[in-house]
Chain A
Amino acid sequence: MALLVPSLIAYALACLLPLVFLRKDNKAIRQVSYGLILIASAFLTILALKIFISNQPISAVLLQITPGLGFSVFLDRLAALFIFIIAIVSVSFAIYSFNYAEHTGSHIRKNLLAAFSGLFILSMVLFVASGNIFSQLLFWELMSLTSFFLVMFDYEKQETQKSGLFYFVMTQMSTLFLMFAFILIYNITGSFDLQPLSGASPAMQGVIFVSLFIGFGIKAGIMPFHKWLPYAHSASPSNVSALMSGVMIKVAIYGLVRYLVFVLEPELWWGVVILVFGVVSALLGVIYALKEHDIKRLLAYHSIENIGIILIGIGLYVIFRAYGLPELAFLSLAAALFHTLNHALFKSLLFMTAGSVVMVMSTRNIEKMGGLIKKMPYTATLFLIGAVAISALPPLNGFVSELMIFQAFFQSFSLGSPSLIILLFIGLSLFALTSALAAACFVKAFGIIFLATPRSEEAANAREVAPGMIIGPAILAALCFLFGIGSYQIFTYLGYHLPIPDMLVISLILIGFLAAFLLAMRLVSNRQKRFSDTWACGLPALMPAWNTPLPVFPTPY
């Protein structure tokens, strides 16, 4: 508590300060505002880690309006995990914004950006920390509204107006479904507290589940409620896209998991529904991403894909739980939550580095880029780390969580029902296809943006971005390594003994082999080198357009 209230006040101040001096073009005020976000987020990170490691929930009443109605805080391990996700991404967001936000138009707009960012993070933290239904609904709505204003940042662009309006309608639909579910819950329990719904009939639980699933699903971007997501995420400023894609859609996952695990009593068919929606979102998300040429929209479609992967984990959890297999159920839930954390890290990293590229290039079209690795080496390396992580390649974090889901799938033979096993194996093969397509998509994205030769004037004259825009994402990149390589040790430390490979040992073996091969090559091979032009098929010079395999890349599908 000693850390929570001051951080909440700091977020509020970060929001109010630029609003008070709205008409003044004062860079210092905005920097103070981002500084406050940074400090508050750092405190929250510590708080979340404390609760997470000690596993001792805290709860308190912040404000009592009338008996039975008020704002209360409840933080257990699950909530602490999501507070950690919000806070750590916000730390990186604040550092990135010190430099980035100064490039975003007129001074009033810059002030508004700082103000709404503070409010946006505050509302997300408060939603996750909420101890009762009433405050959850209130902060959910606050989060939706602030994010709507952030989407409308470039309001005079027609594209943005359309995206903003669309987003607004979808987000209100989401609140509507949630409100319906909450009213039903209130009718049964007679209180706003989060408590197990043991008295309700299965049919009633089913109705509540469906409306919660649609309500949170719209916000999370599950297919077929995903249409708003690519528009909204590409219209907003890149630092906000990182928050929306990295964190906001995770808040919806938090809501879903909270109600599934602690409030409702899930049945088998819920798991099947979640699994099917998850597989469809994952597969279609990545296929849409493959044919996308707009870098931010490509990343937004990958968010849909990853939300699908998280849902697959949650679906498996419900299925295994319904069959009374607690170990497998736990493995699946841990995979889903770990993937939530991992996706927040690498997707924010990717959105921020992509934002740097978009800022330098003044276009989001990747066909106009090329060769940027030589102009922006740090940004390129950070993007590459994000690309490796999201493609689920070892030893980074994205791989470990997908590995856990794979292992849960592999053990589905312990289920009793043959038809369910067949369904799960079909799900498994589509999930495998998804992760392979993601790797293909990021070979394409990284290759076309950063490799080969520049394909436009802007790309040829590109420069590396300011230090803040490198340090911010670099924190996330370091965490991608930490949570990948240290995954086994972290789970063991927390008291969860999962049957996953020890990535630390694997990494040491990799380093050993790399050192051995470097040494061997140094001893036996010719170390001279020469530079020469790429063979241009006999023509005088290489055409920059040749190195765009764009028309080729998506066609085989």
Chain B
Amino acid sequence: MSFIIYVLINTVFVLLISPLLMGLIKKVKALAQGRRGVPLLQIYFLLAKLLKKENVYSTNSSFITRIAPYLNITFTAAASLFVPLVFIPDPVAGIGNVILFLYLLVMAKFFMALAGLDAGSAFGGMGSSREMSISAVIEPGVIIVVAAIAFVLKTYNIPQMFALTLASPIFNSATLLLISISLFIVLITETSRVPVDNPETHLELTMVHEAMILEYTGPNLALMEMSHAIKQTLLMGLLINILFPWGLATALTPGGLLLAALMFFVKSLVLAVIIGLFESLTAKWRLFALPKLFMLAYALAFLTIVVELLV
């Protein structure tokens, strides 16, 4: 029973807060560039507007284009159950398995990449090809990061990881700080941000994620944007709750949940500022220079494992 309540609370919270975090980062970037920027809630208006528009399909496209937005959001939403944002449930049926979490996100990406190829446009194919290449090159880093976390905390279940870090008074282990840098690089890469990708550009040859969803409009685009926002929240939540889990509720009380939601919002606000500033301060890198960034993530995570072995 408590699990069903958890599903409802976590899903609703993720759906509500994800566009806000997107808006926050946009706002931070605008302020860093000396602009006033769009209102914080602009993304919600954008999604509402998209829902009112009609879907336009390419005459070249097949059913892949039609099912991809739904599969994308379904798999991303299912992945959201693996990262508790306000309340840590008891483990049920292996939900929280970190590998399954990663692969649910890959499944969403797989169909997005196929949809990019479906319309036969020159941009979509470029986007899909680059997205899959980048995701393949970062993959060893991602796995070593989660393996290192599993190594430090001796569990590969995300809610249990959070419970463990929550139970300890200060950082569970100093090495978690090392991993968090790698996790940040993973976050930047997986959410298609500078220096890997540029979320601002349209119709530029540099873009990756935007190129894949270029053919979408209307409600389908709203679904794609929403799943992208959810994915970002999940990765932010993973980073936040492993480093600073304080405030997470372990019992289902309205007061505790409210406090946890508020705490999470404050913590994600800080992270959003960091991401926004990081994005304003760096330029986009060449595609072929990216492996250097990924090697950094890999090396730091590997260092964690070595340090843990020596201690």
Name A residues whose Cβ lies closer than 8 Å to a Cβ of B.
370-371, 373-374, 388, 391-394, 399, 403, 406-407, 409-410, 413, 418, 421-422, 425, 428-433, 435-437, 439-440, 443-444, 446-448, 450-453, 488, 499-502, 505-506, 509-510, 513-514, 517-518, 521, 524-526, 528-535, 537, 542, 544, 546-549, 552-553, 556-557
Contacts and interface: CB of A to CB of B under 8 A. Distances in A.
Contacts of B118: 447, 451-452
Interface residues of B, number: 78
Contacts of A542: 60, 120-121
A501 B147 contact: no
Contact of B100 (A501, A526, A530): A501
A525 B121 CA distance: 26
Given A406-B99, A505-B92, A521-B219, A530 B56 contact: yes
Nearest to A504: B93
A547 B114 CA distance: 12
A4 B308 CA distance: 55
A526 B51 contact: yes
Contact of B117 (A517, A524, A537, A549): A549
Interface string B36-75: 0000000000000001111111111111100000110111
A212 B204 CA distance: 56
Nearest to B120: A452
B256 interface: no
Given A403-B99, A509-B81, A530 B57 contact: yes
A107 to B, nearest CB: 38
Contacts of A530: 54-57
A505 B95 CA distance: 9
Interface in B61-106: 61-64, 70-71, 73-75, 77-78, 81, 92-95, 97, 99-100, 103-104, 106
B309 A422 contact: yes
B56 A532 contact: yes
B100 A422 contact: no
Contact of B94 (A501, A532, A537, A557): A501
A205 B306 CA distance: 34
Interface string B267-311: 000000000000000000001100000000010001001100110
Nearest to B57: A531
A451 B114 CA distance: 8
B60 A371 contact: yes
B24 interface: no
A319 B209 CA distance: 42
Contacts of B156: 407, 410
Interface of B: 7, 51-64, 70-71, 73-75, 77-78, 81, 92-95, 97, 99-100, 103-104, 106-107, 110, 113-114, 117-122, 125-126, 128-130, 132-137, 139-144, 147, 150-151, 154, 156, 215, 218-219, 222-223, 287-288, 298, 302, 305-306, 309-310
B51 A436 contact: no
Contact of B126 (A394, A525, A552): A552
Nearest to A530: B56
A439 to B, nearest CB: 6
11 contacts: A439-B132, A440-B133, A443-B113, A443-B128, A447-B117, A451-B62, A501-B97, A518-B70, A525-B222, A542-B120, A557-B133
Given A453-B120, A547-B120, A429 B298 contact: yes
Contact of B223 (A371, A407, A517): A517
Contacts of B55: 526, 528-530
B217 to A, nearest CB: 9
B59 A531 contact: yes
A382 B18 CA distance: 35
Contact of A440 (B77, B135, B140, B142): B135
A429 B301 CA distance: 11
Nearest to B67: A514
Contact of A428 (B56, B143, B215, B218): B143
Nearest to A514: B74
Contacts of A531: 56-59
Contacts of A502: 93-94
Contact of B110 (A443, A500, A524): A443
Contacts of A553: 129, 132-133
A448 B132 CA distance: 14
